[in-house]
Amino acid sequence: MIMQIILQPVLFQPDKDIISTLENTLSEEFNASIVTASPIKEISDQLFDKQRKQWKSNDILQWLLYIYKPSKSTKILAICDFDAYSGHLNFVFGEAYVEGSISAIYLPRLRQEFYGLKPDESLFYQRIVKEAVHELGHGFGLNHCKNIKCVMHFSNSLSDTDIKSNYFCIVCKGLI
């Protein structure tokens, strides 16, 4: 069975370099066919927490699951250029259901500018790839890895993300 990964931009049109980078990396890492969907231009404001001024990641995943109803051979990666949180966490870089078909990455906190620092496009792209591979890894059944260099290691901060590689360690790769 050939696996398909759908890149689903939400509320924005990512530049071609982001899409190209993700398509190349994800097709290689997951041995999957990659399709980029047209951006979703509108989502319910019920998915937004007005008090926190953040989107509710878990609700977005549920909403995407309802819209797509993906088969077992399809994984959806939402690419969102807005800030989100989940449960007790103040924010998330991404979220996915373990062994599920839906995942999302959230770009604002992956940018240096979010923290008042000088933009670094190369670092930003590295972070996008790491978060995308990590969240899709959950979709393929992987849990967090203790190896700090493995892309499946939990990131509590950007320094955790920056230490990781873009790829699975040998143990995690063997589990996919």
Residue 22 in 3-state DSSP? helix
Q: What is the largest CA-CA distance in the chain?
A: 46
Instruction: Sketch out the chain's domains with CATH numbers.
Output: 4-143 (3.40.390.10)
Quote the CA–CA distance of 98 and 58 in Å, as a whole number: 13
Mean of per-residue pLDDT scores for the chain: 93
Q: Which of 12, 17, 4, 13 is nearest to 129 (CA)?
A: 17
Tens digits of residue pLDDT in 35-81: 999 999 999 999 999 999 999 999 999 999 998 888 888 999 999 99
Task: Let me know: does 73 contact 43? Beta carbons within 8 Å.
Answer: no
Q: Which of 29, 95, 131, 135 is catalytic?
A: 135
- The residues, any chain, with a CB within 8 Å of residue 107's CB and separated by 6 or more, are 79, 80, 81, 82, 128
Quote the CA–CA distance of 126 and 142 in Å, as a whole number: 21
Tens digits of residue pLDDT in 90-133: 999 999 987 789 999 999 999 999 999 999 999 999 999 999 99
* Token pair of 123 as six digits: 């670092």
Q: How confident is the model at residue 168 (pLDDT cuts 50, 70, 90)?
A: very high
Q: What is the pLDDT of residue 33?
A: 95
- The residues, any chain, with a CB within 8 Å of residue 5's CB and separated by 6 or more, are 26, 27, 30, 32, 33, 34, 35, 74, 75, 76, 77, 136
Tens digits of residue pLDDT in 154-163: 998 999 999 9
Quote the CA–CA distance of 72 and 91 in Å, as a whole number: 29
Task: Let me know: does 91 contact 109? Beta carbons within 8 Å.
Answer: yes
- Indicate if the pLDDT at residue 1 is higher than 80: no
Look-up of token digits 């990455």? 105
Judge whether 135 counts as a catalytic residue.
yes
